[in-house]
Amino acid sequence: MKKLIAIPTIVIAIFCIPAFTQLAVTSDAIPTLTTPDFSKSIACPVLRVIDGDTIVVDSNGLKITVRLIGIDTPETKHPTKPVQYYGKEASRFTDNLLKGEKVYLVSDTDGDKIDKYGRTLAHVYRAPDGLFVNAEIIRQGYGHAYTRFPFKYMEEFKQLERFARKAEKGLWGATVALPIATPKVVEKQLNTESVMVYVTRTGSKYQ
């Protein structure tokens, strides 16, 4: 009888090991985010990129300022804050993604529709390739997941930030640790990062 009781205990232990291993692997993996069906939606032309996480679009003839949900990029236009490290690079990245393009705006099911500044809060998808701009900014290291307020993709965005940090992408790169006394070196490395941005002009760039 003692042998019969011991066998199930061993079997349970064996099946528990793969389960914990799988959780450890997926925690740093890039999450899969499904693109909505926009076949019956009207895309809005992008009129201007204000900074890395704020744009202006034309919606049925109205100019609407859109704050991308769930992300925060370094400041460049804040009325009371100086230009922050990597702010210009983040603005350039978003401008490169959206300049002359059209986008689909999707409200979040879990959060607010308008922020305290009167800006429309939205998930932004580029037309026609469906690139999820909010997520791509975080994945490429030009902003971090903004988790102060709840939103639908919070866990996925935090996962994307972990990926960017681990890969030292964008603002998480080694240039952050360089001393201020070597501005020429910093400038050269930042320009190299910018080259990566300009290469990323079409949908096929993301692998």
Enzyme catalytic residues: 67, 75, 119
Separation between Cα atoms, residue 121 and residue 114, nearest integer Å: 5
Q: Which has the closest alpha carbon to 54: 43, 42, 46, 44?
A: 46
In this structure, the dihedral spanned by the alpha carbons of residues 79, 89, 147 and 35, taken in order and rounded to 10 degrees, is: 120
**Measured between alpha carbons, how far is residue 150 from residues 109, 112, 153, 192 in Å?**
10, 9, 9, 35
User: Please, which residues have CB within 8 angstroms of residue 15's CB and are 6 or more apart in sequence?
Assistant: none
**Measured between alpha carbons, how far is residue 161 from residues 102, 167, 168 in Å?**
26, 10, 10
Longest C-alpha distance within the chain, in Å? 80
Q: Residue 204 corresponds to which tokens in the numbers above?
A: 């096929």
Determine which helix (DSSP H) or strand (DSSP E) holds 24, and give its type and residue range. helix 2-26
